[in-house]
Amino acid sequence: MSAPVFQLLRGDFPAAPPRSFRQEAHYLLHASDGVMRMEAKGQLWTLPPARAALVAAGEEITIALPRRLQALSVLIPPEAAPAPPAPLRVFESSPLLRALLAEMPEDDSDPTHARALGAALISTAWRLAARPLPLSRPVGRSAMVQRALALVEARLEDPPEIPELARELATTPRTLARHLQAETGMGWRDLMRRMRVMRAAELLCAPDMPVIEVALACGYGSLSGFNTGFREITGQSPRDYRRSLAPR
């Protein structure tokens, strides 16, 4: 019995604008350095270092690289694994997953060894993917909501409120608020908190940027407010989160 062919994709990728594509295999992506943004099924995820993503075969995703990314990815044939727990999941990596990725052979010279490693990799990745990280937000369906979210994201240091956004989008505050709620399933304040924390998660990947500067860049007026808001969504303080980014 031959071992399923697992295709390794190792690389150092420069910053890049969004690009949409799909794979015929399940796509396991592990980031060791850098940040990736992935969009699928109306959600936007942040993939920071020491994290991984599992994308189901045939699922169209859009990927953007805000900064350089070092990654080790594996394409897993659908016949070699059960269906992933969701079309796309971002989750915390583990020492075992990293060790298995590092050991995956680049050829089929030892099919017995490759089959054993592949089975262990699938079991480990699927188990970890069942516990997703809360670093995603809705992207909206209509051009108006997508534009509103883009305007806020570009000005998170001092974000516009609903009335100002409505004027820029040539609509009424009530109409904009109604569409935001309907398309994202979140109230305005909750959406703002989620966007701020996602931006902070990206900025915390830069080890030389002081935490207080990250807080100010994301629109927080104090370090205590930043700590509270970040912990509410991630379950960690910003400093603990930054420490967790270093591969263990």
* Spatial CA neighbour of 70 closest among 7, 9, 11: 11
The two three-digit tokens of residue 140, written as one number:
């909206």
Which residue ranges form the domains of the chain, and what is each CATH number? 7-129 (2.60.120.280), 137-244 (1.10.10.60)
What phi and psi values does residue 176 have, to the nearest 5 degrees?
A: -65, -45
Q: What percent of the chain has pLDDT over 70?
A: 98
Would you call 176 exposed, middle or buried from its count of C-beta atoms within 10 A (0-12, 13-18, 19+)?
buried
Task: State the maximum Cα–Cα separation within the chain, in Å, rounded to a whole number.
Answer: 65
Average pLDDT score over the chain: 91
Contact 67, 31 (CB under 8 A): no
pLDDT (tens digit, 9 = 90+) per residue, 154-212? 999 999 999 999 999 999 999 999 999 999 999 999 999 999 999 999 899 888 999 99
| 248 pLDDT higher than 50 | yes
pLDDT (tens digit, 9 = 90+) per residue, 96-115? 998 999 888 877 778 888 88
* Spatial CA neighbour of 76 closest among 42, 104, 50: 104
The two three-digit tokens of residue 168, written as one number:
């820029």
* Spatial CA neighbour of 88 closest among 60, 48, 112, 49: 60
Lowest mean pLDDT among 29-33, 36-40, 190-194: 29-33
What phi and psi values does residue 191 have, to the nearest 5 degrees?
A: -65, -40
Question: In 219-239, which positions are buried (b, 16+ CB within 10 angstroms) versus exposed (e)?
Answer: bbeeeeebbebbeebbeeebe
pLDDT of residue 4: 60
Q: Is the pTM of this model over 0.85?
A: no
Contact 75, 6 (CB under 8 A): yes
As a whole number, mean pLDDT of residues 128-153 equals 92
What CA–CA distance (Å, rounded) separates 166 from 113? 60
| 3 pLDDT higher than 70 | no
Amino acid at 165: L
What CA–CA distance (Å, rounded) separates 20 from 209? 31
Report angle CA 63, 64, 68 to the nearest 5 degrees.
Answer: 120
- 236 Cβ contact partners less than 8 Å away, ≥ 6 residues apart: 230, 244
